Copies of this chain bind each other. A is one copy, B any other.
């Protein structure tokens, strides 16, 4: 079965519609997806950015919010800007990495729905625990796993791997033959490529 990696960052706005769409798009093409949460912070910092580019470049930022409104309206997704933006995504990323397979995908969609569908804080540990509970899992066990040193090291390794692949933004799709597709608007093209093998 063809496969592809879906790299996403919880603070990234374009990762929101992508996360909500990607599973159905992959299934329709017979592509197995690996969900890979990571952090853009270290990658942005390496190129001198200490904030989201949407905050650093106001005209681009204004455009992006409007673009997202249009994209979400067309996709039938609720959209509400969280404050502050960007949200601190470290804790949610650790919890996502502490989950596997379909639980990770489902948890990730729940995080995005809360953050950009309802405009809620994802740095709130109680809220994250509640989303884990909605999966029918034990929040205490998952959050404990998310907080241990091995998992922290694993997330750092994922970020290093993303940088090594040449990932510079989110969402990014990586195919088995090493092609990189950046952005919600490249999902179909990337999955078509993955399906062709």
What is the interface of chain A, defined by CB distance below 8 A to chain B? 47, 57, 59-60, 62-63, 66-67, 70, 166-169, 179-182, 185-186, 189
Chain B residues lying within 8 Å of A66, measured Cβ to Cβ, are 179-180
Chain B residues lying within 8 Å of A59, measured Cβ to Cβ, are 47, 166-168
> Within the oligomer, what is the number of copies of this chain?
2
Chain B residues lying within 8 Å of A186, measured Cβ to Cβ, are 67, 185
Q: Are A168 and B63 in contact (CB under 8 A)?
A: yes
A64 to B150, CA, bound (A): 35
Knowing that A59-B166, A59-B168, A63-B182 touch, tell me 11 more A-B residue pairs with CB under 8 angstroms: A47-B57, A59-B167, A60-B168, A63-B166, A63-B180, A66-B179, A67-B181, A67-B186, A70-B189, A185-B185, A185-B186
Chain B residues lying within 8 Å of A179, measured Cβ to Cβ, are 66
Chain B residues lying within 8 Å of A189, measured Cβ to Cβ, are 70
Question: Closest B-chain residue to A166, C-beta based?
Answer: B59
The 4 lowest CB-CB distance pairs between A and B, nearest first, are A59-B168, A60-B168, A59-B166, A185-B185
Question: Closest B-chain residue to A182, C-beta based?
Answer: B63
A selection of 14 A-B contacts at a CB cut-off of 8 Å is A47-B57, A47-B59, A57-B168, A59-B166, A59-B168, A60-B168, A62-B166, A63-B166, A63-B168, A63-B182, A66-B180, A67-B181, A67-B182, A70-B189
A191 to B53, CA, bound (A): 27
In this complex, which of A59, A62, A185 has the most chain B Cβ atoms within 10 angstroms of its Cβ? A59
Q: Would you give the shortest CB distance from A95 to chain B, in whole angstroms? A: 28
